[in-house]
Structure 1
C-alpha cells in the first residue's frame, strides 16, 4: 500500500508496525503525518497530510526533496487516531538526506509496544546477551518489563508492556546491560510517555475544531481503499 502525494516522490518512508498490531475497523479514524526541516534556525514546515483512515502492517509515504547539494535533516511526526484517541506513542523521527531519491524504514510504536534499539548490529554470543529494562525515569527499581536477548544478534526489537501498569502522563526510560561483563550499553529511545495523560473534554473539543479549520485537501490513490 502507498500513500503518495501529487509531487515527484523523491523521498520514500516506509512506516512499519508490530506484526501483531491490528488496526480497529470501526469508529472514526485518522492518520496525520507532519514533516519539517529540522536543521534550519527555525523549523521549516514541509507539509501536513491527513487521511481519514488507519492501517496496520507496513505502508509507504513519499514527498518531494527540494534541496540540492546539502544535507537536510527532516523531523517526521506521525499519529493515528481512533475515535479521537491516539494509537501511537508521541515520538519524533529524524531522517537525514544527503541525496535523493532516498528510502528509509521507520518503526512505529503503538501504545503497548516500544521499538527499542540496543546496539550496533553484530554477532552476540549467548553468554554475552543483553538485558533491557523499561522502568520509571530516575527510578530503575520500579520496572514495567525486563527482557534478555540471547539470539545471534541483539539489535532492535519491539518491547511489549501492559498499558494498565503505566501511569498516564508519566515518563519512563530504558536501560541496558551486557550480561557477560555487566557493562552498560546505550539504548534508545530516551525517556518517553508510554500512555498520554487524559485530555479534558474542552481541550479535545478545541483540538477537533482546530483540526477542522486546518484540514487540507485529502489525497487518495488507487490503493487507498486498502486502508482501514
Structure 2
C-alpha cells in the first residue's frame, strides 16, 4: 500500500513483512512511524505519523528530504499495536540518504520472527554452513534457538523463536559461526528486545509514545528548519 505519491525530494521506505504475518483487524489497532535525523551533535525529530489501523505484506511510507548537497542519517522506528500490545520487535532502523529521491526496503520483524542478516566470509563454499544462535546478552550459554543455514539461505532470513520464552524488555543477541574454521562472523541486528513491554506497562516504549503524542502528527513537516 502506498501512503503518498512519490515526490522528487522524498524518501520512500518499503516496509516489508513476512507472508505469514497476519495482523488482527478487530479491536483497537494503531500503527506508529517515527523519523529522526541524526548528526554528530543531536537527534532531531522530523516526522511522527500514526494511523488507527494495521498493515500487512509490503507497504510504503514517505517523508521529505529537502537537501541536494548533504547526506543525512535517519533513524526510523515502526511499531504496530493491537489492543495496546506491540506486534513488532522493538528496533531502530537507520537509513543514509545522500540524494533524493531515495528508495529503500526495511524488513520489519513481527514478535516471534526476527529478520537476520549475516555478513558472509569472503571465501565461503556452497556446501559449508553458518550457524546462528539467539541467546541472552548477559549469558550467551542461555540459548533460545540455534539454526544452521547453507550459502544460499544464510545471507538473510527470518529466525523463528518462541515469544513465550522471552522476558519483556530484556535484551538478546545474535552470534554467527562459520562451520569450516569456526570463526565468528557478523550478524545483525545486534542487541534487541524481542518482546517489548506493552502500553499498559511502564518502560521505554511508553515513554516514546508519550513524546509522540505531544508532537504534531504531520507527514510532511517543516523539515528544513528542524534539521538545519
When normalised by structure 1's length, the TM-score is: 0.84
The residue number in structure 2 matching 1:140 is 140
Q: What residue is the counterpart of 1:216 in the other structure?
A: 217
CA pair 48-128 structure 1, distance change in 2 beyond 3 A: same
Q: For 1:127-206, list aligned pairs within 5 A.
A: 127-197=127-197
Distance in 2 (CA, whole Å) between partners of 1:94 and 1:52 is 25
Q: Which runs of 5+ in 1 are unaligned?
A: 220-228
What CA deviation, in whole Å up to 9, does each residue of 1:143-167 have, x standing for no partner?
A: 1111100143521111010001112
Root-mean-square deviation (CA, aligned residues, Å) is 2.9
Work out whether 1:99 is the aligned partner of 2:99: yes
Q: Could you say if the C-alpha distance between residues 153 and 23 of structure 1 is closer, same or farther in structure 2, counting changes exceeding 3 Å?
A: closer
- Change in Cα spacing, 1:87 to 1:198, as seen in structure 2 (3 Å) is closer
Aligned residues: 219
Q: CA deviation at 1:15?
A: 0.2
Q: Do the aligned residues in 2 keep the contact of 1:121 with 1:153 (CA within 8 Å)?
A: no
Corresponding residue SS for 1:3: coil
Residues 47 and 218, structure 2, Cα contact 8 Å, conserved in 1: no
Give the deviation of 1:127 after TM superposition.
3.5
Report deviation, 1:41. Answer: 1.6
SS at the partner of 1:141? coil
- In structure 2, the CA distance between the partners of 1:177 and 1:50, relative to structure 1 (3 Å rule), is same
Cross-structure match for 1:222: none
Tell me the TM-score normalised to structure 2 length: 0.84
> Residue 116 in 1 paired to residue 116 in 2?
yes
2:56 paired residue number? 56
Change (3 A) 1:178 1:120: closer
SS in 2 for 1:172: strand
Task: Give the gaps of 5 or more residues in structure 2.
Answer: 221-228
Range 208-217 or range 32-41, more displaced: 208-217
Offset at 1:124? 4.2
Which one is further off, 67-76 or 148-157?
Answer: 148-157
